[in-house]
Chains A and B, each alone.
Chain A
């Protein structure tokens, strides 16, 4: 290169510095400042409130709603992981192994909810669950199960489970495609060899397909965990706002309520720290649990 060192540094700075400044101001600084806020008692008046030491954290541990929100978040994580992974794996295997002519149609349709706005999904499903007009209750009446109809999102016991279906509905396509990518990389010869050895299709699935797409399964599960812990509050906010009677509050929606509705910004930040720590711990534990020797045949 015929450029001086100075010019090279100028160019490097041109490429990196403006972007990094904006990233620092709008991402890094707020994150670290959030940690800092969690030690203050602050209702949002002009100057930062009083230093409160660990008061917010004490309050966190004695707040009766907090354990509920954690429980609700992990309920959503577990049900979503199970629901999405079973259906996505089934669909991925069906669309790659079964030689179905119209497979591209299913692929296009199943993926579409992934790019719909959560607001649209949430409102659509609120209507599906609508007690008098909704599809769920009319369907139940149609097949003669009137006694099962209920105001799904208004029922303290059923509101949270009712949020699982829209999340699965909206999430399946992406994970199905990730698994399909894994399956299509498996060489046909493994299946031929398995067939010669007399393995049934079911055995082929457990002994060939599943071990070989384990990396994709692992990434999918981790991705569902991360997006649920960091984003389940969006669908909660749209569909139930945490109600009825806090029965659907998750950590993020409780943070929103504390900080931006009740203006307890310091306490809100403390909940944010809890979300950060819990999601990091969960991801590390899951990564450890799902560690498995890389399979090669």
Chain B
């Protein structure tokens, strides 16, 4: 046990090593190597004890005194990782990685360094073209270090980069290569999941389902296998079985009049239902039948957005509330928000009933508009784009990541009668979109669309015996549909 305070340890270590440092300057390289190893191990020990400053100083000393050692690139990599994982300052990691790339490209650690550099560059990207540098780093890993354990990680990221550029075929090749070449790699389950989703985007639903099943068979205990289970369930239910909707009544377990004017629904990343109760001015998470408040209080919320970080964003006339942060981010005066979604680049797409365009807010707060008809509802799509409903044009538009319409579905297509309004849209992350409609000969009802815009399931509320005022809906992970009835203060599940 040491009684020396942490601030004393680094100088003490350096003091102890001083004779070696002095000797190292004049003696043979073999002794340099010894010194480098001792410094590196000393840093490792300090780091394991969470004495980060001591560790960083020691590794810095190593880089300064024995830069030619085989331990120098290891130290650089550790320093970079520390900045990313502990300090959460990726920009501070870049100088280390740049140095690694410039001076130690032959070292085995350079593979991990290049991969990390690529990951950081990909995170900085705000549009597809920004991925170019990141992809170059991933390709360098593959070309220069084909046997490195970093290869599966590089391929996975390369696949994602291709996918984010809309190059699904190329993405699929990379994902497949991950688990074909290294089935035991840590990245293999994730690559299988992403390959399956890419197959679906490419229109190969059977291939997608088989791949998800393979994932469940090969890595049954992985988080991806749990993901695969619900993805299989919703696809089979909505796209293959397509049973008529059946009203299961008040949900969960027949609870009625237990809410205070619920108006909005969304699904959290782990599958829990999120709902906003207008009379309580607050959002809640429904977890095992219990309501748990989420985020700060907010009045008049018009849209819920679930970012990848897992918290909840609330959009209202007043602005945007992000997670636990009570500070309101202004939304450029949008007063009639009808829907919102986050894209792959972290930009927030907002639909406003009074704006004949979509407004996109980038993560740095800047906004731009994307030409579009006035959108009465909006939801995200797994392809990276969004779906909007334009009542004025009586069309549902599947937009790609650039806002260009890829599929247009006229209101009433594939239905016995047409409707006039879309009240809300919801997507399940597996390609299905639920649409809450009203008006016209169809009247109040719901329908589920496939990724190609085809109507998979539909029903009118009249046929289901629903009389309330349904304002929002969500697709759950069992292939069911949850409706939010603000008049009767309850939730209804359709199966």
Partners in one complex: no
| Interface set of A (CB-CB < 8 Å, partner B) | none
Residues of B within 8 A of A (CB): none
